[in-house]
Amino acid sequence: MITGLGQMIPGKEPRILTAKNLLGHPYKPFGRMDYFSKLGFAGIVKAMKDAGRSEWQAKRNIGLIATTRFGCLETDQNYFATVTTDHGMGASPALFAYTLPNCFLGEAAIFLGLTGEGFVINETDPTGITGLSMAMTTLFEDDSMEAMVYGICDTPQISGIKTPKNLFQGALFMVLENKAPYLHTPYGALEFDASGTIIYNQETVSDIVVLAENALKGRKS
């Protein structure tokens, strides 16, 4: 079931993206992150807070999967500018560290103490459904997995790239659990039908953004 939702939408957020705004206190690694990582990190933290799982004592077997279309391409461009400026002499190790799109999952895992599986998916048809299916499958397969955090993350504009109209811009994450011990009112239950199609409240799930909207509506009603 979906036990937490968190989103970070650039332009819609009333406050700028700082650790103090997000966490209520300074967090040095946040300042080092590239914009893509900050967005994803914020989405994950918000979802875990919503699920009542942001506080921890011992590291937990919780996994993280994210779908992205453009990933850290903007950071790639920024990093390579530091390479070409001075024939490689000025290559920035700090930026290079974020030229892998899964690094923000590592940052979130460190902050939240999550030791489950973690990887990024690039879908050719970015609805987020393949990743959601993988997250659900892992929960189904492995009883020792406490929860899976799954979502999508993309930065709004990248130099030289035309962004598709239907692309979700920002970060949207959800916490999935087999049981809901931390929350009395989960958003709703996800399940596979016999053909492997994902069903939410008796309806086929074809897009993760629509799923999140429906989940929010369900809780309000």
Q: Which of 126, 210, 175, 50 is nearest to 200 (CA)?
A: 210
* Cα angle for residues 48, 166, 75 (degrees, 5° grid): 65
Site string for other proteins, 51-80 (x = CB under 8 A): --------x-x-xx----xxx-x--xx-xx
Tokens (6 digits) for 6: 């968190």
Asked if 23 is part of the footprint of other proteins (rule: CB under 8 A), the reply reads no
The span of 14-22, 147-155, 160-168, 175-183 binding other proteins (CB under 8 A) equals: 160-168
| Distance in angstroms (rounded) separating the CA atoms of residues 1 and 176 | 5
| Positions 84 through 123 that interact with other proteins (CB under 8 A) | 84, 86-89, 91-93, 96-97, 99-103, 105-107, 109-110, 112-123
Residue 207 interacts with other proteins (CB under 8 A): yes or no: no
43 is an interface residue for other proteins by CB under 8 A:
no
> Is residue 127 at the binding interface for other proteins, with CB under 8 A as the rule?
no
The residue whose two tokens read 């958003």 is 187
Measured torsion, CA atoms of residues 106, 8, 209, 99, in degrees rounded to the nearest 10: -40
| Least distance in angstroms from the C-beta of 156 to other proteins | 15
CB neighbourhood size of 26 (10 A)? 10
Q: What minimum distance in Å lies between the beta carbon of 32 and other proteins?
A: 10
Report how far residue 214's alpha carbon sits from residue 216's, in angstroms, rounded to the nearest whole number.
5
Compute how many other C-beta atoms are within 10 angstroms of the C-beta atom of residue 92: 16
Closest CA to 205 of 146, 147, 131: 131
CB-wise, 152 or 215, nearer to other proteins? Answer: 152
Total interface residues for other proteins by CB under 8 A: 64
Asked if 34 is part of the footprint of other proteins (rule: CB under 8 A), the reply reads no
Quote the tokens at residue 78: 């920024």
Contact positions vs other proteins (CB under 8 A): 59, 61, 63-64, 69-71, 73, 76-77, 79-80, 83-84, 86-89, 91-93, 96-97, 99-103, 105-107, 109-110, 112-126, 130-131, 134, 137-138, 140-144, 158-162, 196
